[in-house]
């Protein structure tokens, strides 16, 4: 019985140390942050969205410029 209790304590201590080291190593990493967008980034925001294109050839108009 005594050997079983010591073994369980050893396993629990090792588990605790591994858990603690994983937590500490995870906190040490500093991930790169995204750069903040500048004013030029938003200059084409008005062009975003869905567009439709309609081409009018004016084929019935005799005064229309030739293609």
Give pLDDT tens digits for 13-52: 898 888 877 776 555 567 788 888 787 888 888 888 898 8
Q: Distance between CA atoms of 22 and 25, rounded to whole angstroms?
A: 5
* pLDDT score recorded for residue 17: 86
- What is the domain partition of the chain in residue ranges? 1-27
The answer to whether residue 4 scores a pLDDT higher than 70 is no
* pLDDT score recorded for residue 40: 83
What is the DSSP code string of 4-49? HHHHHHHHHHHHHHHHHHHHHHHHH--PPPPPPP-GGGGTTGGG-S
């Amino acid at each position: 019985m005594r050997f079983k209790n010591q073994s369980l304590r050893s396993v629990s201590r090792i588990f605790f140390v591994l858990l603690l080291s994983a937590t500490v190593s995870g906190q040490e990493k500093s991930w790169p942050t995204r750069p903040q967008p500048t004013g030029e980034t938003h200059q084409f925001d008005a062009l975003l969205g869905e567009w439709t294109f309609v081409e009018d050839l004016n084929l019935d108009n005799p005064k229309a410029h030739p293609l």
